[in-house]
Amino acid sequence: MENSLNETDSALEETKTSHRDTDEEDSKAQIDDSGNQGSTKRMDGSLRRMSRNLSKTLTRQSSSIAEALPETTTGWTVFTSVILSAILGYEVQLQRRLTHPPVTFCQNATGSVIEQVYKKLTESPDHILSRSIAPSLFVGTRGTISSTAAYLMGGPSSVSKKYMRFREIITMSQDGANIAIDWEIPLQPKQETSNSKEQQVDQSKCKSEILEGPIQKPVVIILHGINNDASFGYMKSLQRTFCDRGWNAASMNFRGTAIRLTTPRGYNGAYTGDLRSLVYHIAGRMAPNVPIFLVGNSLGANIMTKYLGEEGLAGTLPSCVAGGASLGNPLLLDSSNVKFPFSVLMALGVKKIYLDNWKSIRALKDDYSRQSFHTGLMASTIEAVDNAVAPIFIRNDEFYPYGVKIGYRNGEHYWFDASSYRHVRHISVPFLNLTAQDDFLVSRPSRNKLGYCIGNPNVMVVETRCGGHLGWQESPPDTAFGSSSWADVATADFFDAVMKTNTELCGTAIGHNETETVTPYESSVVGLGNMEKDLKQIQKDSIAFQQTVKPRL
């Protein structure tokens, strides 16, 4: 009996002990929870205090700013004037830091044409290569804005009694493609003041001279950049500059631009056949000893440089072609080096041209070509577009007779074939290569290939401190504002100096004989079969030019 009572008491004690332990654990848990809740409350309180303090600080600052603002119209006028003066003062200081003469690289061989041309362009401090370039405020002082303005500005008005504009359509004999040539020619003073009937007759005579010949004034053929055409402002500005010198200006629209594409093959950066056909067409209309000059912009500069090198290598350049100028030429084409957002924007422009000419492109019947175009349309960057469409690009042999072929193995082979730096050394006429240090698209590759340019005694390289890509907006002398293009004047002065030098040395403005330009054929340079081997060797040879020196402002 006693044993059972003892066992019962023990069980009760154990139960009480377990309940006591459980109560202690619950109380500890409650204490922990209350501690956590307390720390959370303290943190929330700190955040609320910080928020209130920050709100009070911002309110005080806003009140201080509001109290500092003027309350009258006169006060606002003074306040605005001070702000604008500060901005203008900064721009003027920036303009002064950027104002600097261009840097010129060339071989000054005694008695050479380039030496005489250089002397004419630097005879006095006011000449184009001697005087400082003052960029226009807010536009010319910034490379990106300068480049944007070059593309977006409309250029000089097309309606003028001093000039006549008309379009000529030329059919390419290679494949039947049509290209549009936009002419602008100066009119004689008597044609401006005559009555409407007489003026119409005189304009008809001028147009007939251009289309049928013989053309009595120099002709400048101008090539545009990628995704552009002859209607862009920088093209019109160049035309007007040459017309003001009394010359005829012909802006070439690449196949598929300005007018509908009549073949399934559009333009690219390597094919020089269309330019070659155009030069032959116009050369056949020129009067004796009247020169033709070529000007290329961006991608058009690359095509024009490649054309002159191909013709110089074979000695087939028409004798009336007296010189060329390359503006914003990358020299090395490699779409993989084009960064965002420009790679996307360029791709959109190329795809727009494809869509605009889709009716002609659909004429391609084979599945491979159609699939290549569809892949290109789906691509997001210019590199991907080139890789997709390069196997169906039109191209030509780089040596006489420049046979037309179709396709590259891939985008890399297309870029190699298109890169004009390989052809610069064969150019046989005076040649100007103009770039700007703040050109975000071509400054680095162009500087890297400087050695290839100055290795040719016919080439003059001019580098400016500012100008962007095809911009070069310049202020008129002794003023702060302006939008005229320094490059337009520099190109015209270069051509004028070439004509004067040729006349002094040879007695004619063209000054060169096509039979004197023949150079040995170098299969290792132009052969497509050895592209990969040649590319590696050229990359080794050009290591010395891989570093660019940033300008000190």
Complete DSSP assignment for 273-296: HHHHHHHHHHHTTBPTT--EEEEE
Structure tokens at 528: 């497509």
Type of residue at 135: P
Beta strands 292-297; 103-106: pairing state = unpaired
Structure tokens at 365: 């019947």
For residue 364, tell me if it sits in a domain.
yes
Cβ distance 387 to 419 under 8 Å?
no
For residue 16, tell me if it sits in a domain.
no
Highest mean pLDDT among 59-73, 471-485, 493-507: 493-507
Does residue 31 carry a pLDDT above 70? no
Higher per-residue pLDDT: 78 or 231: 231
For residue 466, tell me if it sits in a domain.
yes
Kindly indicate the confidence band of residue 184, based on its pLDDT and cuts at 50, 70 and 90: very high
Cβ distance 423 to 310 under 8 Å?
yes
- Find where tokens 């290209």 sit: 179
Structure tokens at 552: 């000190």
For residue 33, tell me if it sits in a domain.
no
- Find where tokens 């990359």 sit: 539
Higher per-residue pLDDT: 291 or 526: 291
pLDDT of residue 41: 61
- What's the rounded mean pLDDT across residues 393-398? 92
The angle that helices 382-389 and 342-356 make with each other, rounded to 10 degrees, is 40
Q: How far is CA 484 from CA 125, 135, 234, 360, 489, in A?
A: 20, 10, 10, 39, 9
- What's the rounded mean pLDDT across residues 67-93? 81
For residue 408, tell me if it sits in a domain.
yes
Type of residue at 186: P
Kindly indicate the confidence band of residue 551, based on its pLDDT and cuts at 50, 70 and 90: very low
- As beta bridge partners, residue 327 has 297, 434
Structure tokens at 276: 């070659």
The count of structural domains within the chain is 1
Is the dihedral angle over the CA atoms 227, 222, 283, 116 positive or is it negative?
Answer: negative
For residue 515, tell me if it sits in a domain.
yes
pLDDT of residue 520: 39
Coil, strand or helix at 69: coil
17-21, 145-149, 210-214, 509-513: which has the minimum mean pLDDT? 17-21
Give the C-alpha separation, 244 to 237, whole Å: 11
Type of residue at 289: N
pLDDT of residue 109: 83
The angle that helices 273-283 and 299-314 make with each other, rounded to 10 degrees, is 70
Higher per-residue pLDDT: 530 or 328: 328
- What's the rounded mean pLDDT across residues 220-244? 95
Structure tokens at 104: 């010129």
pTM for the model:
0.80
Does residue 293 carry a pLDDT above 90? yes
pLDDT of residue 175: 86
15-24, 203-212, 244-253, 298-307: which has the minimum mean pLDDT? 15-24
| Residue from 420, 418, 423 nearest 522 by CA | 423
Burial of 105 (0-12, 13-18, 19+ CB in 10 A): middle
Kindly indicate the confidence band of residue 341, based on its pLDDT and cuts at 50, 70 and 90: confident
Mean pLDDT, the chain, rounded, equals 82
Kindly indicate the confidence band of residue 545, based on its pLDDT and cuts at 50, 70 and 90: very low
Kindly indicate the confidence band of residue 117, based on its pLDDT and cuts at 50, 70 and 90: very high
Give the C-alpha separation, 449 to 461, whole Å: 11
For residue 67, tell me if it sits in a domain.
no
| Residue from 513, 515, 498 nearest 460 by CA | 498
Cβ contacts of residue 229 below 8 Å, gap of 6+? 235, 253, 254, 257, 258
- What's the rounded mean pLDDT across residues 418-443? 94
- What's the rounded mean pLDDT across residues 200-205? 77
Cβ distance 106 to 450 under 8 Å?
no
pLDDT of residue 38: 58
Give me the domain span that covers residue 141: 93-545
* Plot region of 268 (φ>0 → left; ψ -120 to 50 → alpha; else → beta): beta
For residue 59, tell me if it sits in a domain.
no
Q: Using the 8-state DSSP alphabet, how is residue 413 labeled?
A: H
Type of residue at 333: L
CATH classification of the domain holding 244: 3.40.50.1820
pLDDT of residue 252: 97
Kindly indicate the confidence band of residue 539, based on its pLDDT and cuts at 50, 70 and 90: very low
